[in-house]
Structure 1
């Protein structure tokens, strides 16, 4: 019987188990296994830094809905990727991190890789012999897909070169049985909805699955609920006339008012954490809080709930709707509320006085103009920082697959890599990366990746020449700010050096170059991506910043 090496068998088996896309940086330790994945038909995307590769893989998995792999070298390759892995783990992204592992404690690359994985919330696994290699691959993929976990599959160097018979096919991925419907919880939730006069649904990451939007909209229609989302599920109810968009710190004044007036708040696959509920202040004192989640350990973690229902969002919503029957009730859905939502729920419809001056553009003015200029079919990725609320809330997206928000770990510097992963998952849409100046410089190595992959991306740098969050948080108290202020950076020149087209924007008139680029892109005559070097006003903090720093 023909035999093959463990590294080759593992790479082939991963692809056979449904992992058809991998990101990474290849070194000697992960060379063979990565090439085996490519030979088996997987697409491999080379990044310039393992941190970027990890976030690309995370974003690709979120946006595509498919399990994805990250391939890294032993030791330093893994440690370089840890921030991205932590983000993925906190976000319950189905990701398999395939890491070579030093076989000797005397190796310069030797670290406790399993402990590193566990420390950031990933699930550590290891291929210990040729005999268990395929079983470990199947277990890793099963845990990633069905457990919605980020898994570190360690592949020791000495085991990689062992041999095993060529298997007749891929190993079977274990599929856990579907849990039974929580009948009592469904009945209690239906009863609560019958009695509610102002119900609001808040849908989170767990509501992004197939059919969940339709099920929630049917149920909301029957009980008169208004619809909102957490930030990671932005766009889920796009186009629905009863949508309040994002709940929490990003919420517009009208959205916050209506959510705050609810007598029943139901979180659907949503943690109802401090961000989504403004540390609980968004909830009325007498509001009944319900949480639906397929993970029993998630119920009531962030706040006490009157009813906890363990179950899949779609199945539970369908069962509650069936229990309520077909007769719709007004609930929160009055003509007055509908008119107010149409006129005032979007941030761009909230009046403001522009700040800045002759050489600095107000970030709201900038983002509203970009929303009008860029095509509606877009996928938006946002980095972390004081600026982040503007692209998150002033740029509309077509659906929940049009917004990729890698913010569970709140790390600066993930935005560009996020946009790359999302762009590869949705090649039918224009990718838009919104970065602060700090995050743009942290992730600048991946500008070359954008050009090399030929992605028609628009990168917008909100440059206030500072770490704006810290400046606005500590400045009013008179603290010295020299450590968080920087000289102005010519991001347009940096981008051109990588092969981008670029424009510097200090006033609305400078955006004519963006309109020209978009016209060329739509007409098929633009090959280079575009970087918008926006010199934004730093006169005042973002509206959400005070909320963000509370409780830290």
Structure 2
């Protein structure tokens, strides 16, 4: 068996059935073999960075290992931003990268690929020779899961044409980790929790992965604690009467008032980064207990009063048991007045709409799209100032919200959405993206979505500018002209690619756009261009909760 055949066989033996990529000299024969011999779904991207982002979107939507493949040299250098995004998000991924032949130092695309990969924070797994291919593939897969980051499997081209007898390695079996807490850590944490008068429970994606929803609801009842989530926990407690929603820079008014009164924050599987803590302002005056499966996440962004290493569900169950044994009584923080405020809260009543004939207020736009678009959906949000609204869109389950702003890079959303849509073709995927991000990384890949016949609904928040730069120039009293752009007609271009389209220039046109979505053809993406005003938007957004 030839080396490239062995690579393909080893990937399949480790459960790989979907691969995203751009083919070139260094990976061409691996990709061909995956399709021909193993019936692996291969999704061709227009750019290598997009292939990696597709793999990450797929991984986030499925909870499985995302796999992409690129060629050597420029094929790999094109993936740098996407690799860093995967590292920042701690997404297990495998990037199968060809390398130039070892004996040809003057190859035009020769590059120290190890140094390049290490600089991104991703892991590097070299295929040492043809005899070790199966072992090296297995090691790369195991490392991706264990280290929770992308691993680049580096394969010199000459090895791909060597003959070898295939010796399979055992497939990876990754049972969920159910780590019980250290008794001393648990005792310290419960001392803080039991003495609090106004506790709040904050759940993140780690609590979601643990399946801790019901036990955290029960713990909230035991403590009399309102419930909140990080952005990545959106929807976790959506049916609960004391659900505060997002904890952080996107907290709504009622949540903000409640969070300000709290004296204890009990965090399960959430990162206490500046988004989740509103630049640590929401930690002020509170004692903080942080429960996380990964000890390196405790005290990572904020120093806490007590850290507990363990699985969110297991730790919460242990807390409930010990609190019951101590006959702990719930606090009075959950009041009838708070329940009434949360029940009656309507974000549309918290601001003055600034829409006019020609541009819509992005806040009103988002609220109406949130209510009018199909409810059983995935939502993918690109980076940009529009995301301050787009990230508040509702989803059925936390995993249905997929983000692409771990590195703060715009333009990764379209390819991430394609990956998520490929992962779950049974329901629509809604992509919220700004005009700058759409032009940077979305426009060319839209043709891939059309080719694949994806049920993709793209909402472009078009203010004709690079918004984050526009707002800074305006805030400093400077001329924002350099941040403005005269883009092509997005709807006309999307129509020429094979999409259904709708353009929103006033609130009256939102219903018509929703009708286009409602009546969309199967296998035909929809693009909605929503016109906003860069100057108006810069007056709306600022540092807020």
User: Is TM (by shorter chain) over 0.5?
Assistant: yes
Alignment of 1:306-455 (within 5 A): 306-325=305-324, 329-344=330-345, 348-393=347-392, 395-442=393-440, 443-455=442-454
Aligned to 2:269: 269
- State the distance in 2 between where 1:511 and 1:547 align: 27
Aligned to 1:528: 524
Alignment of 1:43-58 (within 5 A): 43-58=41-56
SS at match of 1:380: strand
Aligned to 2:484: 485
Normalization by structure 1: what TM-score? 0.92
The structure-2 alpha-carbon separation of the partners of 1:19 and 1:224, relative to structure 1 and needing over 3 Å to count, comes to farther
- State the distance in 2 between where 1:175 and 1:460 align: 37
Deviation, structure 1 residue 72: 0.7
Deviation, structure 1 residue 546: 2.9
The structure-2 alpha-carbon separation of the partners of 1:214 and 1:543, relative to structure 1 and needing over 3 Å to count, comes to farther
Q: Which of residues 38, 41, 44 in structure 2 aligns to 1:40?
A: 38
SS at match of 1:386: coil
Judge conservation of contact 1:376–1:397 (CA < 8 Å) in 2.
yes
The structure-2 alpha-carbon separation of the partners of 1:235 and 1:163, relative to structure 1 and needing over 3 Å to count, comes to farther
- State the distance in 2 between where 1:242 and 1:426 align: 31
SS at match of 1:282: helix
1:81-140, Cα deviation, whole Å (9 max, x unpaired): 111111111111010111111233322212222222221111111111122221211111
Deviation, structure 1 residue 468: 1.2
1:346-380, Cα deviation, whole Å (9 max, x unpaired): 6x344321214211111122112212211111111
Aligned to 1:193: 193
SS at match of 2:379: strand
Q: Which of residues 98, 101, 104 in structure 1 aligns to 2:99?
A: 101
The structure-2 alpha-carbon separation of the partners of 1:266 and 1:106, relative to structure 1 and needing over 3 Å to count, comes to farther
Aligned to 1:13: 10
- State the distance in 2 between where 1:20 and 1:225 align: 44
Range moving further from structure 2, 460-469 or 330-339: 330-339
Aligned residues: 537
Q: Which of residues 83, 86, 91 in structure 1 aligns to 2:84?
A: 86
Deviation, structure 1 residue 193: 2.3
- State the distance in 2 between where 1:501 and 1:57 align: 26
Aligned to 2:131: 131
1:381-440, Cα deviation, whole Å (9 max, x unpaired): 1111111111111x2111112210121101000111121111122223211111111011
- State the distance in 2 between where 1:377 and 1:421 align: 18
- State the distance in 1 between where 2:491 and 2:223 align: 52
Unpaired stretches in structure 1, ≥5 consecutive residues = none
Range moving further from structure 2, 223-232 or 459-468: 223-232
Aligned to 1:305: 304
* 2:223 is aligned with 1:223: yes
Deviation, structure 1 residue 544: 5.7
SS at match of 1:473: helix
The structure-2 alpha-carbon separation of the partners of 1:153 and 1:437, relative to structure 1 and needing over 3 Å to count, comes to same
Aligned to 2:24: 27
- State the distance in 1 between where 2:484 and 2:165 align: 60
- State the distance in 1 between where 2:108 and 2:430 align: 40
Normalization by structure 2: what TM-score? 0.93
Deviation, structure 1 residue 542: 7.3
The structure-2 alpha-carbon separation of the partners of 1:137 and 1:179, relative to structure 1 and needing over 3 Å to count, comes to farther
The structure-2 alpha-carbon separation of the partners of 1:427 and 1:215, relative to structure 1 and needing over 3 Å to count, comes to farther
Deviation, structure 1 residue 547: 6.1
- State the distance in 2 between where 1:502 and 1:195 align: 57
Range moving further from structure 2, 320-329 or 242-251: 320-329
Alignment of 1:503-518 (within 5 A): 503-518=502-517
Judge conservation of contact 1:6–1:133 (CA < 8 Å) in 2.
yes
Aligned to 1:292: 291
The structure-2 alpha-carbon separation of the partners of 1:400 and 1:32, relative to structure 1 and needing over 3 Å to count, comes to same
1:32-76, Cα deviation, whole Å (9 max, x unpaired): 222333333432211111111111111110111011111111111
- State the distance in 2 between where 1:178 and 1:137 align: 27
Judge conservation of contact 2:178–2:311 (CA < 8 Å) in 1.
no
Deviation, structure 1 residue 211: 1.6
Judge conservation of contact 1:386–1:545 (CA < 8 Å) in 2.
no
- State the distance in 1 between where 2:51 and 2:512 align: 31
SS at match of 2:283: coil
- State the distance in 2 between where 1:14 and 1:331 align: 55
- State the distance in 2 between where 1:178 and 1:282 align: 30
- State the distance in 2 between where 1:88 and 1:9 align: 27
